[in-house]
Chain A
């Protein structure tokens, strides 16, 4: 971890000390705080049910068996932690934008601390070519594997890794979402089984509105594709229209999949992290 990254993560952690994730209210009726349906080890009895092969034999209600010869097991309320999965897109394209990696890590750190403050069980997913869990999800200072050098974007490999994410949690994905794959497929897969999905898009102003320039070779860091272009008004105009259409596509896909879509100016955020976008989006709240 470089000193710049350390500093911004430390700043983010400091900012997040007094915030927590906002409670989730969704159609399933859970608030995401306590209840689970599996038979667990909690003390609060819930109901009986027929014994099924594999149930812990210690859970058999021996009194009922003695009285009625019925094999029933006592079901207690399972004490489950509310889950929060934060996916950080660490593909090489993120590195292409100034401040984007720093902003991605700072936002992930804020969300991780806020989730921890709200007693969420938090998982940090480093979305490299293979997604990996960070061993210290709630202590961002200790995060490892922070290189942004994946050659595959989440748009290409998310469907292989989303199965690893436990269901019924709140899911965040932090990326620039600048890949050509269909956004609906990803967001649908991402939202599947989740209580809530939030997509945080990091973009820089010059990525939305690039200035004209001379002739240059544009390089895609992920697939090393090159294009020799004269960055004149015409070319820039064509790009602006393309990115406008692309963002519109993602907004529409987010609406269709019930994903909350937040756009953050990465460059500005990396220089001066702030909570406003997330407070405004009601993702976090003060303790």
Chain B
């Protein structure tokens, strides 16, 4: 079905001439008077009136309507109307940068105005709106443009525009695309994509990083800009004044005893408020209690104990439930806790190979473990169950086998002499990773503080909960666990509280990013779709000439007048 549009809506401004001309017309009618000697010889005025009406309205002559119609037609022609067939227009994919920097200045307002002006030209086409964010999300797909001010809520610590464009192209191919952001493009923009940026460079004070461990908070504060600045740092109720030189970055350690620390970097005339706040939850987790089986050889036992003593994430308390049991594989005592099953080869079976030790399967336990220069005496004929993590040639050195309760058995094929493994940085790293892995798999959130590009993970093993209440500042929902042992949620900015019948966990999500807070990178930029003109020329028919012709036809009878 054809639809009418205006290519030059400003042409309608001339419509203000109508009341002016009508007023002039009536004034001219009044002003043109003629004195006649015998008015009774002239026909009476042609008037129409309603019975009892106080005012009688003079019926206007045909000329008046002719001119009025001609003027209206000419005004419409000046607005350059055209007819389009909607189906011929490709959908418009609008990719919105929802990173927090687009909150600065009037970026968002200008961008919305621009999109609406683009949309007005072809209002009936299909509109798809995406929020770029860390992962692109389609939030609207309809023949009407949504209220962008309501659905475009920038607040992410970053927006991957390139990934969002790729997502949009995959989701809706053969269409037009427009990226709306606040900075110049950092990648090549395809021909079928428009790119508009309405950013403006500002100085900005921001919290660019925040970490917490127990009662200590590490803050990184930045003054992105070429001017000196001062601010007040408020951590819950404690305040301190800070002075910043141009482009200065400060690192501070602040002590906080409260479970939840609310941090506010208060500065005057700050163009971006979002990066002046952070919230950190106490992330303290008790160390992993280790039980070393008596059957473990003394040298190995000593090496393990030295590591436990130097690692705050490990402890050996006899009066507490062990979370990690270290025992010879020959013992294999069933236990719900995680275990290190040590395959201790007999002296005659142990051998050292020159083959390189390589990781076979990626696993958090191997993160950062240096594998060079390791002398690893092992039984090269030993069959090890589970998933091989480390191997030397065909020999499994390290394997893992998960248990139903989220615990694991870690099998180590290592002679009790230990080669140089216990003197290598690989040794403490391996134990640190094991401790962290166990801590991360404890019931509850894997960590207390997230950034918004992460996902909140809740471990529910050993928790008998069918429902979890999830409360944020703005909402409160109930999550059905469906007997799953792990729940993954999108990390949205703010404080989250998860409650089961037996547990309550707090999680804070922050949107801090040094690059995003550097508003000196914001700029204006515009690139139109190269193929856009072709699309529109092919589908629209200008009818301004038709209206102008009609106006002339209406006026032709007037040309006979003297």
Interface size on A, residues (CB 8 A): 34
Is the CB–CB distance between B35 and A221 below 8 Å? Answer: yes
Binds B, one of A33-41, A43-51, A52-60, A211-219: A211-219
Is the CB–CB distance between B61 and A230 below 8 Å? Answer: yes
Q: Does A176 contact B (CB under 8 A)?
A: yes
Is the CB–CB distance between A219 and B34 below 8 Å? Answer: yes
Is the CB–CB distance between A97 and B58 below 8 Å? Answer: no
Is the CB–CB distance between B41 and A219 below 8 Å? Answer: no
- Closest-CB distance, A235 to chain B (whole angstroms): 6
Q: Does A1 contact B (CB under 8 A)?
A: no
Is the CB–CB distance between B29 and A215 below 8 Å? Answer: yes
Is the CB–CB distance between B37 and A215 below 8 Å? Answer: no
Q: A243 and B63 in contact (CB under 8 A), knowing A228-B29, A238-B43?
A: no
Residues of A within 8 A of B43 (CB): 229, 235, 238-239, 242
List 6 additional contacts besides A229-B43, A238-B42; criterion CB under 8 Å.
A178-B38, A211-B562, A215-B63, A218-B42, A227-B42, A242-B43
Q: Does A94 contact B (CB under 8 A)?
A: yes
Is the CB–CB distance between B63 and A230 below 8 Å? Answer: yes
Q: A215 and B32 in contact (CB under 8 A), knowing A96-B37, A207-B37, A225-B39?
A: yes
Is the CB–CB distance between A227 and B45 below 8 Å? Answer: yes
How far is A202 from B34 in the complex, measured between Cα atoms in Å? Answer: 19
Is the CB–CB distance between A217 and B42 below 8 Å? Answer: no
Q: Does B237 contact A (CB under 8 A)?
A: no
Closest to B33 in A: A217
Q: Which of A176, A232, A238 contacts B37 (CB under 8 A)?
A: A176
Is the CB–CB distance between B32 and A96 below 8 Å? Answer: no
Q: Which of A96, A179, A232, A246 contacts B36 (CB under 8 A)?
A: A96
Q: Does B40 contact A (CB under 8 A)?
A: yes
Q: A216 and B32 in contact (CB under 8 A), knowing A227-B45, A229-B42, A235-B42?
A: yes
Is the CB–CB distance between A94 and B33 below 8 Å? Answer: no
How far is A198 from B41 in the complex, measured between Cα atoms in Å? Answer: 24
Q: Which of B34, B41, B44, B562 contacts A217 (CB under 8 A)?
A: B34
Residues of A within 8 A of B42 (CB): 218, 227, 229, 235, 238-239, 242
Closest to A224 in B: B39
Residues of A within 8 A of B35 (CB): 95-96, 218-221
User: What are 28 A-B pairs at a CB distance below 8 A?
Assistant: A93-B37, A93-B38, A95-B35, A96-B36, A97-B37, A100-B37, A179-B38, A207-B38, A212-B562, A214-B32, A215-B32, A216-B32, A217-B34, A218-B35, A218-B36, A220-B37, A220-B39, A221-B35, A227-B42, A227-B44, A229-B45, A232-B61, A238-B43, A239-B42, A239-B43, A242-B42, A242-B43, A246-B38
Is the CB–CB distance between A219 and B33 below 8 Å? Answer: yes
Q: Does A180 contact B (CB under 8 A)?
A: yes
How far is A39 from B58 in the complex, measured between Cα atoms in Å? Answer: 69
Residues of A within 8 A of B44 (CB): 227
Closest to B41 in A: A242
Closest to A214 in B: B32
Top 7 A-B pairs ranked by shortest CB distance?
Answer: A178-B38, A220-B39, A93-B37, A96-B37, A242-B41, A217-B33, A216-B32
Question: Which residues, 8 to 38 on B, are CB-close (under 8 Å) to A?
Answer: 28-30, 32-38
Residues of A within 8 A of B41 (CB): 178, 239, 242-243, 246
- Closest-CB distance, A156 to chain B (whole angstroms): 13
Interface size on B, residues (CB 8 A): 21
Residues of B within 8 A of A242 (CB): 41-43
Q: How many A-B residue pairs have CB under 8 A?
A: 86
Residues of B within 8 A of A179 (CB): 38, 40
Q: Which of B36, B40, B61 contacts A215 (CB under 8 A)?
A: B61
Closest to A242 in B: B41
How far is A220 from B42 in the complex, measured between Cα atoms in Å? Answer: 11
- Closest-CB distance, A177 to chain B (whole angstroms): 9
Interface residues of A (CB under 8 A from B): 93-97, 100, 176, 178-180, 207, 211-212, 214-221, 225-230, 232, 235, 238-239, 242-243, 246
Residues of A within 8 A of B562 (CB): 211-212
Closest to B32 in A: A216
Contact flags (1/0) for B60-87 with A, using CB distance below 8 Å?
0101000000000000000000000000
Is the CB–CB distance between A218 and B34 below 8 Å? Answer: yes
How far is A215 from B62 in the complex, measured between Cα atoms in Å? Answer: 11
Residue in B34, B39, B44, B63 whose Cβ sees the most chain A Cβ within 10 Å: B39
Residues of A within 8 A of B33 (CB): 216-219, 226
Contact flags (1/0) for B245-263 with A, using CB distance below 8 Å?
0000000000000000000
Residue in B35, B45, B63 whose Cβ sees the most chain A Cβ within 10 Å: B35
Residues of A within 8 A of B58 (CB): 228
Closest to B36 in A: A218
Q: Which of A207, A217, A218, A235 contacts B30 (CB under 8 A)?
A: A217
Q: Which of A215, A229, A238, A243 contacts B38 (CB under 8 A)?
A: A243
Is the CB–CB distance between A219 and B36 below 8 Å? Answer: yes
How far is A232 from B66 in the complex, measured between Cα atoms in Å? Answer: 15
- Closest-CB distance, A216 to chain B (whole angstroms): 5
Residue in B28, B30, B36 whose Cβ sees the most chain A Cβ within 10 Å: B36
- Closest-CB distance, B41 to chain A (whole angstroms): 4
Closest to B28 in A: A215
Contact flags (1/0) for B367-410 with A, using CB distance below 8 Å?
00000000000000000000000000000000000000000000
Is the CB–CB distance between A217 and B61 below 8 Å? Answer: no
How far is A95 from B37 in the complex, measured between Cα atoms in Å? Answer: 8
- Closest-CB distance, A263 to chain B (whole angstroms): 15
Q: Which of A217, A220, A235, A246 contacts B32 (CB under 8 A)?
A: A217
Closest to A95 in B: B35
Residues of B within 8 A of A215 (CB): 28-29, 32, 61, 63
Residues of A within 8 A of B37 (CB): 93-94, 96-97, 100, 176, 178, 207, 220-221
- Closest-CB distance, A144 to chain B (whole angstroms): 24
Closest to B61 in A: A230
Closest to B62 in A: A230
- Closest-CB distance, A67 to chain B (whole angstroms): 69
- Closest-CB distance, B40 to chain A (whole angstroms): 5
- Closest-CB distance, B67 to chain A (whole angstroms): 12
Residues of B within 8 A of A94 (CB): 37
- Closest-CB distance, B35 to chain A (whole angstroms): 5
Closest to A100 in B: B37
Closest to B39 in A: A220
How far is A243 from B43 in the complex, measured between Cα atoms in Å? Answer: 11
How far is A122 from B35 in the complex, measured between Cα atoms in Å? Answer: 34
Residues of B within 8 A of A227 (CB): 39, 42, 44-45
How far is A238 from B61 in the complex, measured between Cα atoms in Å? Answer: 17
How far is A180 from B45 in the complex, measured between Cα atoms in Å? Answer: 18
How far is A229 from B61 in the complex, measured between Cα atoms in Å? Answer: 9
- Closest-CB distance, A239 to chain B (whole angstroms): 5
- Closest-CB distance, B22 to chain A (whole angstroms): 13
Residues of B within 8 A of A214 (CB): 32, 63
Closest to A97 in B: B37
Q: A219 and B29 in contact (CB under 8 A), knowing A227-B44, A228-B58, A229-B45?
A: no
Q: Which of B36, B38, B45, B63 contacts A228 (CB under 8 A)?
A: B45
Is the CB–CB distance between A220 and B36 below 8 Å? Answer: yes
Residues of A within 8 A of B30 (CB): 217
- Closest-CB distance, B250 to chain A (whole angstroms): 82
How far is A23 from B41 in the complex, measured between Cα atoms in Å? Answer: 38
